[in-house]
Structure 1
Amino acid sequence: MRNLLPFFTRLPVRGDFEKARGELWALPLVAFLSSALPTAVLYLNPPLGNVLAVLALYFTIGLLHLDGLADWADGIMVKGDRERKVKAMKDLNTGIAGVFAVVMVLLLQVYSLPLVPVYALFLAELNSKFAMLLALATKKALGRGLGRFFMEGMSGRQLILGTALYVISLLPVVFLEPRSISFLLGLLAGLYTIHVSLRNFGGLNGDCIGAVAEITRAGALLGMALVWQGL
């Protein structure tokens, strides 16, 4: 797992670029580290703890996936054929669709956190990382960037191991609090994001995978918030 950390977090750990794609099965384990600081903030319950927790999250994981979400949204909202959509996604300028997507994801997370238990952010991150693993498992790479590099390292064995880790990690929480199964709304949102990406772009690149991660996390928190509020 150590080799994954430089690519999926901002933790000061050195990793081997080639070895990282052989450790993709460990993506669910990364959630334990990426959610640790924001969960600690929520546990301490300081003033504006929900805002501080989201800041702590992005301090840990960086803004790369959030930037990918913005580019992805710009590409999705452009009218035209796939070539035009891919061109819009790769444009260095962020359009209004990208700004809207980023703001909505941030707001969903900030406003959901006070309504959910303290461990909800861990479950949301666990689903986010697992959704990224599922996106890589499509093996439908777009372009020749980092997304293709990791997809080429994916295998059925890695997917099976990653799925097993995902299930083992969430089972104790679901057993103790059955309502936490509502995080599956986030996973469904992530799967739908993969579907939309394939339909609009014909494949997935790093921006698409970043969008999958962000939308899955926000969807998981939203799903738990709705259930915990009895809606």
Structure 2
Amino acid sequence: MTANQLNGFTGRLLAAPGDIADQVRFFSRLPVPDRFGNPQAMPAFERGAGVVPLAGLLIGLLPAFTLWLGLTLSLPPLSAAILAIIVQLFLTGALHEDGLADVLDGFWGGMTRERRLEIMKDSRVGSYGVLGLVASLILKTSLLAGLAESASPVMSPGIAALLYLAAFPVSRGPMVWLWHRLGNARASGLSHDAGRPDRLSALSAAGLSVAVGVIPIAFVTSGGAILGLILAFAVAFACASVARRKIGGQTGDVLGACQQCCELAYLLGLVMVL
């Protein structure tokens, strides 16, 4: 490692707390004190996107706690799962879910690249978006309920909540990789204005996702964790391939759709093995 690379790495470590605060503020509605980061400025995604999984970990704490509390209070697993997802949607402002709906409308509602981008920019939601979003939420609810049902006798409510929590950072690492990998499909828009993560940020995000994703190995099963990670990154590759073919790059909506699909993939891997 050269002196410049070492200095750059040290600078990233020193900037990490502020970057995490900026990412939490950007990707959620959690109140972040002004002394952490700059609430008025766009986060430094080129450097700071590497800690997006850690921001996801913080965002997931309250939904995971909600799942644990519901199971501890002997709520039916389905009810506990629904409450946890409601909290998740509230905290994120359904940011990524909105991206998923827009991508489904645009990719399969338009016949040309220009028309697809136009549809995705439209604030209205069409039939593809509605049906896809409903299907996604139903699948996520059923997977989380299946994970919660495994809390007894296989594992405790706390372990079930921990596995759910792991899905938050795991799903965001592949999203950052796609963000780095694909160029912007538009010459304007939020994704264009935010800039693209550099290679070190993409590697950092992927590494953090893998590190958190293997947590289930220590508690329940190695097979579920490994399968979930494989599925999550495979889905990210698939999202990148489809986005490149449909619109020639990525947008903020594509990133949101990728996160949602990777989250479902990781939960699917866990539940399939459990």
TM over 0.5: yes
- Verify: 1:183 aligned to 2:208, yes or no: no
Q: How far apart, CA to CA, are the structure 2 residues paired with 1:187 and 1:164?
A: 12
Q: How far apart, CA to CA, are the structure 2 residues paired with 1:64 and 1:163?
A: 21
| 2:172–2:209 contact (8 Å) kept in structure 1 | no
Matched to 1:127, the amino acid is: V
TM-score normalised per structure 2: 0.77
Q: How far apart, CA to CA, are the structure 2 residues paired with 1:99 and 1:140?
A: 28
The CA RMSD over aligned residues, in Å, is 1.8
- Contiguous gaps of at least 5 residues in structure 2: 1-19, 148-159
- Verify: 1:219 aligned to 2:265, yes or no: yes
Q: 1:3 to 1:20 in 2, by over 3 A?
A: farther
Matched to 2:145, the amino acid is: P
Matched to 1:39, the amino acid is: A
Q: How far apart, CA to CA, are the structure 1 residues paired with 2:208 and 2:225?
A: 18
Aligned to 2:143: 112
Q: Which deviations, in whole Å up to 9, do the C-alpha atoms of 1:116-145 show, x marking residues without a partner?
A: 233232222122211221121114112212
Q: 1:191 to 1:120 in 2, by over 3 A?
A: farther
Q: 1:63 to 1:201 in 2, by over 3 A?
A: same
- Verify: 1:35 aligned to 2:60, yes or no: yes
Bigger-Rg structure (1/2): 2
| 1:127–1:187 contact (8 Å) kept in structure 2 | no
Q: Which deviations, in whole Å up to 9, do the C-alpha atoms of 1:9-30 show, x marking residues without a partner?
A: 1111244334432311101101
Shift of 1:75: 0.8
Aligned to 1:9: 28
Q: 1:113 to 1:78 in 2, by over 3 A?
A: same
Q: 1:42 to 1:151 in 2, by over 3 A?
A: same
Aligned to 2:191: 147
Q: Which deviations, in whole Å up to 9, do the C-alpha atoms of 1:82-130 show, x marking residues without a partner?
A: 1122222222221100001110111111111121233232222122211
Corresponding residue to 1:166 among 209, 227, 240: 209
SS in 1 for 2:85: helix
TM-score normalised per structure 1: 0.90
- Verify: 1:127 aligned to 2:152, yes or no: no
Corresponding residue to 1:26 among 40, 51, 56: 51
| 1:148–1:205 contact (8 Å) kept in structure 2 | yes
- Contiguous gaps of at least 5 residues in structure 1: none
Q: How far apart, CA to CA, are the structure 2 residues paired with 1:225 and 1:5?
A: 28
Matched to 2:237, the amino acid is: L
Q: Which deviations, in whole Å up to 9, do the C-alpha atoms of 1:121-171 show, x marking residues without a partner?
A: 22221222112211211141122122123333x211212222332233233
1:45-124 map, 5 Å: 45=71, 46=73, 47=75, 48-116=79-147, 117-124=160-167
Matched to 1:113, the amino acid is: L
Count how many residue pairs are aligned between Structure 1 and Structure 2: 227
Q: 1:213 to 1:95 in 2, by over 3 A?
A: same
Identity rate, percent: 28
| 1:24–1:158 contact (8 Å) kept in structure 2 | yes
